[in-house]
Amino acid sequence: MRKRSDDLDWADLKVFAELARSRSLSGAARKLGVTHATVGRRIAQLEAAIGHALVSRRDGSYVLTAEGERIATLLGPMEGQVLSITRTQAGRSTDVTGPVRLTATDAIGSLFIVPRLKPLAEQYPGIGLEVIIDQRNLSLARREADIAIRLARPAGGDIVATRLCRICYRFYARREPGAHKLSPGQPYIGYDDWNTPSVENQHFANVTPADRRIAMVTNHLPTRYAAVRAGLGIGLLPQFIGDASGDLDRVPHRGPSLMREAWLLVHKDLKNAARIRVCREFLVDIFAGAKEALCGD
């Protein structure tokens, strides 16, 4: 390759930094909100400007060359400084308009927050809310999300954490017409191997009978909820979902119920941005107003 120019385009470097993290064209494109072709074009431009190949394709994924590893290492501190500048500037905004990226788990995001968002949309129509349903801890430092609702408090870092409430989990089964108690040996809806380390799975294993019969396993809570409502078996669900269904009954089990704490997280540089602040306050209020539904008797 021949070096085309002494000037490097920061946009190209940004794309390369994301590709170096994702190690896949589709992953980088998804994170950056661009097409695969754009990622490929940016990488080709950067390689031409530097005069060396930075990545090679191997077994369906992208592997950094020696030069690619060197550039990626140099980019780390640079990218951190640029992100710090953009976060600081965004944090000074007084406009209650613009995008806000909120990430939460499927249960909290889809089944608790989204059904309660209409008042926020009506009061602040200029806010473009993007709800990202993801079990992973998306990076607030890299602006993968602006606000995160998680079931664990982060350790250290530049994150401002606000405790929202407790969320209780209970066992539920479908209410059968005319039935006064569960039939003996009713099966359970279990967890698949992908979810083995989860708190819910560990609780499930601790309080259910050792000889329990598993009718179905899933790593997706809405699917577990659908299975319980379909009568496939007993399932562990957040209380706010099971109690509100109208066609499920709680099933007593030995030992205490599972309780988890919900936390609202935001990067310290963004906590005072007007659009972030009003969304934070709104979320705190809707959780405070539903404490009994989330973890009452």
**Cα separation, 242 vs 174, whole angstroms:** 10
**Cα separation, 217 vs 96, whole angstroms:** 44
3-state secondary structure of 225: helix
Query: How much is the pTM?
Result: 0.69
- Give the pLDDT of residue 238: 96
Angle of helix 25-32 relative to helix 36-50, nearest 10 degrees, comes to 100
Region 96-297: CATH code? 3.40.190.290
- 138-142 long-range contacts (CB < 8 A, ≥24 apart) are 138/103, 140/265, 140/266, 140/267, 140/270, 141/80, 141/83, 141/87, 141/267, 142/83
Q: Residue 74 — very low, low, confident or very high, per pLDDT cuts 50/70/90?
A: confident
Residues in the chain: 297
- Kindly provide the b/e burial profile for residues 196-215, where b requires at least 16 CB atoms within 10 angstroms of the residue's own CB: eeeebbebbeeebeeebeeb
Sequence ranges of the domains in the chain: 10-91, 96-297
What is the pLDDT of the chain when averaged over all its residues? 84
Asked if domains 10-91 and 96-297 share a fold, the reply is no
Decide if pLDDT at 248 tops 80: yes
Region 10-91: CATH code? 1.10.10.10
Percent with pLDDT over 70 in the chain? 85
Q: Residue 85 — very low, low, confident or very high, per pLDDT cuts 50/70/90?
A: low
**Cα separation, 233 vs 231, whole angstroms:** 6
**Mean pLDDT, range 59-76, rounded to an integer:** 80
- Give the pLDDT of residue 94: 63
Decide if pLDDT at 192 tops 70: yes
Instruction: Give the range among 133-142, 216-225, 261-270 with minimum mean pLDDT.
Output: 133-142
pLDDT in tens, 86-142: 656 555 566 678 889 999 988 899 999 999 999 999 999 999 999 988 877 776 667
- Give the pLDDT of residue 182: 58
pLDDT in tens, 173-187: 998 775 555 555 789
Alpha carbon dihedral 106, 111, 116, 117, in 10-degree steps, equals: 30
CA 98 to chain centre: 21
